[in-house]
Amino acid sequence: MLDLSPLGRCLVTGAGGYLGRNLVRRLVDAGLEVRAFDRRFPVAMPEGVDVREADVRDDDAVRAACEGIDTVFHCAAIIDTRSRAPAKDKAFVHDVNVGGVRRVMEASRAAGATRMVLTSSVNVVVDRPYEGADESVPYATIPPLDLYTITKAEAEKLVLAADAEGFHTCALRPGGIYGPEEPTHFPRAVREILRGLFVVRVGGGKTIADNVFIDDLVDAHVRGALALGPEGKANGRAYFLSDGEPMSYFDFFAPTAIELGYKPPKASMPVWPVRLAAECAEWLSFLGIHPFLTRMELYKLVTNHWFSIAAAERDLGWKPQFGHAEGMARCRPWVRRLAATMPRVIRPHLLWWIAIFGGLGLTFALALSASAYASFTSVIPLFPRVVVQAIAAVALALHVGEGLYAYSRARAAKLPTAAGWGIQTLLLGYPSLRLLHRELRGTNEPALAEGPSEEPT
The pLDDT tens digits of the residues spanning 383-399 come to: 899 999 999 999 999 99
Rg for the chain, CA atoms, rounded? 26
Q: Return the closest-CA partner of residue 242 out of 217, 268, 223, 263.
A: 217
pLDDT digits (tens, 9 = 90+) for 179-234: 999 999 999 899 888 766 788 899 998 999 999 999 999 999 999 999 999 999 99
Q: What is the structure's pLDDT at 451?
A: 26
Q: Is the pLDDT at 454 greater than 70, yes or no?
A: no
pLDDT score recorded for residue 112: 97
Cβ 169 vs Cβ 235: under 8 Å: yes
Strands 211-213 and 176-178: parallel
pLDDT exceeds cutoff 50 at 439: yes
In tens, the pLDDT along 100-155 reads 999 999 999 999 999 999 999 999 999 999 999 999 999 999 988 999 999 999 99
Q: Report the C-alpha gap between 205 and 270 in whole angstroms.
A: 10
Range of weakest confidence among 9-18, 297-306, 445-454: 445-454
- Could you give all domains of the chain from N- to C-terminal order, each with its CATH number? 7-341 (3.40.50.720), 350-439 (no CATH)
Q: Lowest-pLDDT range, 61-70, 107-116, 322-331, 446-455?
A: 446-455
Angle between helices 350-368 and 370-377 (to 10 degrees): 110
Beta bridge mates, 306: 131
What pLDDT is attached to residue 457?
25
For residue 344, the model assigns a pLDDT of 62
Active-site positions? 148
Find out whether 281 and 293 touch, Cβ atoms under 8 Å: yes
The predicted structure's pLDDT at residue 442: 65
Nearest C-alpha neighbor of 172 from the set 369, 275, 309? 309
Report the candidate in 243, 26, 207 with the shortest Cα–Cα distance to residue 117. Answer: 26
CA 371 to chain centre: 47
N- to C-terminal Cα separation, the chain: 18
**Residue 449 exposure: Cα atoms within 13 Å on the Cβ side:** 7
Distance CA 95, CA 55 (A): 11
d(CA 60, CA 111): 13
- Residues in the chain, total: 457
Residue 377 pLDDT exceeds 60: yes
Q: At what angle do helices 385-412 and 430-441 cross, to 10 degrees?
A: 20
Three-state SS string over the chain comes to CCCCHHHCCEEEECCCCHHHHHHHHHHHHCCCCEEEEECCCCCCCCCCCEEEECCCCCHHHHHHHHCCCCEEEECCCCCCCCCCCCHHHHHHHHHHHHHHHHHHHHHHHHCCCCEEEEECCHHHHCCCCEEEECCCCCCCCCCCCCHHHHHHHHHHHHHHHCCECCEEEEEEEECEEECCCCCCHHHHHHHHHHCCCCCEEECCCCCCECEEEHHHHHHHHHHHHHCCCCCCCCCCEEEEECCCCCECHHHHCHHHHHHCCCCCCCEEECCHHHHHHHHHHHHHHHHCCCCCCCHHHHHHHHCCEEECCHHHHHHHCCCCCCCHHHHHHHCHHHHHHHHHHCCCCCCCCHHHHHHHHHHHHHHHHHHHCHHHHHHHHCCCCCCCHHHHHHHHHHHHHHHHHHHHHHHHHHHHCCCCCHHHHHHHHHHHCHHHHHHHHHHHHCCCHHHHCCCCCCCCC
Q: What's residue 277's pLDDT?
A: 85
> What would the pLDDT profile of 222-281 be if each residue is shown by its tens digit?
999 999 999 999 999 999 999 999 999 999 999 999 999 888 988 888 898 888 888 988
Average pLDDT over the chain, rounded to whole? Answer: 91
Q: What is the pLDDT of residues 162-177, one digit of tens each?
A: 999 999 999 999 999 9
The answer to whether residues 239 and 312 touch, using CB atoms and an 8 Å cutoff, is yes
Quick check: 215 and 150 in contact, CB under 8 A? no
* pLDDT tens profile 29-53: 999 999 999 999 999 999 999 999 9
Q: What is the pLDDT of residue 1?
A: 79
Helix axes 272-284, 295-302, angle to 10 degrees: 160
Least-confidence region, from 112-116, 281-285, 304-308, 451-455: 451-455
pLDDT of residue 415: 78
